Amino acid sequence: MFVGENPIHINAEKGSIAPLVLMPGDPLRAKYIVENFLDDAIAEDFQITNKNVANLRNMLGYTGFYKGVRVTVMASGMGMPSMGIYAWELFHYFDVEKIIRIGTCGAVKPTVRVPELILATSAYSESNFAYTFSDYKEHITYPSNSLNETIIETAEELNYKLHIGDITTMDVFGPYIDYDRVLNRIPKELDILGEEMEAFALFHIASYFKKEASCILTAVDSKFSNVVLSGEERQNSLNEMITLALESIIK
């Protein structure tokens, strides 16, 4: 395996990334979080202070403080290959200890309404990502139990409604296919609440490095509803999920 001394995809200096990381998919959501939730963030393009922590390929990363605790917000991009690259480099090169993915998903159970929150207890995928990465042949990966427990306790403290259960990670964007066909192939013992595109890879990479990872999702569309959040709402109206992740990761 070829591993160079420096990361290829994150152009950050050593020490500039905190051990606690929130990972939205969208780089502009990372920017939104820093502008609205963090203090003393390093972010040149909206003139908070000096410079981006990372901006290669416009995959923006910023470091600041939340309630006095140093936190980095780093985008992952879309899909498992992109998540795999950034999670791997964060764990390997920057000694990150915890990552909470904060993303959007499609709800596939009528009990989950737009824009309610889901905490993943497992991610099922038909992808070969984990097999290619490390010969892992199973189709389920798991988050950190202890980090999930912290998120559940924090949601209770904040009085946030939180659906807790299985999700599925797809290689394609669910609304563009007949994903009932895929859902019908998932083992019946799994109670799938939502579908997204990154968590399976994040959980596997974290497990490989013996680090912690969790995934909180906001349902932005549902097969049981005509309510769909717009692109602008997806970027700017996910404050409950962001607050839950920040309050949890600093504990």
For residue 49, the model assigns a pLDDT of 37
Positive or negative: CA dihedral 33, 114, 77, 19: positive
Segments making up each domain of the chain, as ranges: 20-249
Inform me whether the pLDDT recorded for 52 exceeds 60. no
pLDDT number for residue 235:
60
The pLDDT assigned to 175 comes to 81
Evaluate the CA torsion angle 75, 25, 97, 36 in order and state its sign. Answer: positive
At residue 69, the pLDDT reads: 93
pLDDT computed for residue 223 by the predictor: 85
**Residue 37 pLDDT:** 94
Supply the pLDDT for residue 67: 93
Better-predicted residue by pLDDT, 35 or 236: 35
Name the CA dihedral angle for 237, 240, 246, 251, rounded to a multiple of 10 degrees.
180
Q: What is the pLDDT of residues 56-84, one digit of tens each?
A: 566 889 998 999 999 999 999 999 999 99
- In this model, does residue 108 exceed pLDDT 60? yes
Q: What is the pLDDT of residue 26?
A: 92
Cis amide prior to 175 (ω within 30 degrees): no
Query: pTM for the whole thing?
Result: 0.91
pLDDT at 11: 81
Residue 235 exposed, middle or buried by CB count within 10 Å (0-12, 13-18, 19+):
middle
171 a catalytic residue: no
Mean pLDDT, residues 100-117 taken together: 95
Whether 21 contacts 74, CB under 8 Å:
yes
pLDDT single digits (tens) 170-201: 999 888 888 889 899 999 999 999 999 999 99
- Give the C-alpha separation, 154 to 123, whole Å: 22
CATH top class, domain 20-249: alpha beta
CA 22 to chain centroid, in Å, comes to 7
Q: Which token pair is 182?
A: 């895929």
Render pLDDT for 1-13 as a digit per residue (tens, 0 to 9).
666 677 768 888 8
Please, are residues 192 and 140 in contact by the beta-carbon 8 Å criterion? no
Residue 149 pLDDT exceeds 90: yes
What's the 3-state SS for the chain?
A: CCCCCCCCCCCCCCCCCCCEEEECCCHHHHHHHHHHHCECCCCHHHCCCCCCCECHHHCCEEEEEECCEEEEEECCCCCHHHHHHHHHHHHHHHCCCEEEEEEEEEECCCCCCCCCEEEEEEEECCCCHHHHHHCCCCCEECCCHHHHHHHHHHHHHHCCCEEEEEEEECCCCHHHCCCHHHHCCCCCCCCEEEEECCHHHHHHHHHHHCCEEEEEEEEEEECCCCCCCCHHHHHHCCHHHHHHHHHHHCC
Q: What is the mean pLDDT of residues 103-131?
A: 96
Whether the pLDDT of residue 44 is over 70: the answer is no
Facing residues of 23 across strands?
101
Among the options 40, 45, 171, 221, which is catalytic?
221
**Is it the case that residue 118 has pLDDT exceeding 90?**
yes
Percentage of the residues of the chain whose pLDDT score is greater than 70 = 88
Task: Answer for the pair 179, 88: CB distance below 8 angstroms, yes or no.
Answer: no
